[in-house]
Amino acid sequence: MTLVSFAHPTISKIGDKHWFHEINDSFPGQSFGLEVVRILHHSQSAFQDILVFESATFGNVLVLNGIVQCTEKDEFAYQELITHVPVMCHEKPAKVLVIGGGDCGVVRELVKHLEDGVEEIVMVEIDRAVIDLSIKYLPNMAKFHNHPKVKIVIEDGFKFLERLSSLEDSGKYDVIITDSSDPEGPAQEFFDTGYYGLLKNALKPDGIVAMQSSENIWLNLPYLCDLLNKTSQVFSNVEYCQCYMPSYTSGQLGLVIASPAKSRDLKNPVKNFDDRKDLFKYYNSKVHEASFVLPTWAANALEKRTT
């Protein structure tokens, strides 16, 4: 598939180079661009437009519906924070559920905890094509897709969670990580109270859930306040943290961390792996704590969100 003949709304030729630009109504007035070396894959699955390309400086890039999901250069920042913040806040996160996460990056990070309390990892992804393409083009992220402790379920996350709502607490999860794409296509319903209610019903009473917020403080602060309001209608304990990612619009992405247990401390880990230098590239206990520290104007806005 040559760049000269390839046509896609996100790819354009400027001078003698081809560029990908992420332009979306959710991020008005700005875009994020990467120089394209070659197109690796393009298809329309049953659920979404999927593009994979090799970039000049960020390695291979996965794009869904025109929005960057991950790049080989910086994916570890997001994958580590969304995984290790909830897991390190839980004394024994034996059962962990991942909703979405077809690139298998969260699964890779969870495997690091198999000797520290995690016993069962279940990933529910609606689009098998994302998993298969990640195995082929993002092998470092998807390297544990066939791990014996990992169960992958190809199903709508809503339907999977609905079945869990009737289970006793022993069948529910200690940690749930929602690694959905932005609210486009099949991921649109992952940002409303109905979904948060399903999450709570699938979670043990002292469990923890982590969700990507699809927003950061620079893009649409009113939307972020509304999102946290919706989460607070379902969970009694809600916090917001952020990671730094150059490949995400504005260079940051926020995470919502929540629990039904009001007394649970989400900002401070109960475990510390800082002496294991080879385990993480982004995460450590200080980064965990600092990720919840926001600039004054943003902190004030989010504190007032319920008024």
Instruction: Report the catalytic residues.
Output: 179
Q: Alpha helix locations (H) across the chain?
A: 75-88, 105-111, 128-137, 157-164, 193-201, 221-232, 285-290, 296-303
CA distance 9 to 99: 29
Instruction: Please check whether residue 73 is in contact with residue 140, taking contact to mean a CB–CB distance below 8 angstroms.
Output: no
| DSSP-assigned letters across all residues of 128-167 | HHHHHHHHHH-TTTSTTTT-TTEEEEES-HHHHHHHHTTS
CA distance 22 to 132: 23
Helices 221-232 and 296-303 pack at an angle, to 10 degrees, of: 40
Instruction: Please check whether residue 269 is in contact with residue 88, taking contact to mean a CB–CB distance below 8 angstroms.
Output: yes
> With the CA atoms of 133, 135, 139 and 142 taken in that order, what torsion angle do they form, in degrees rounded to the nearest 10?
110
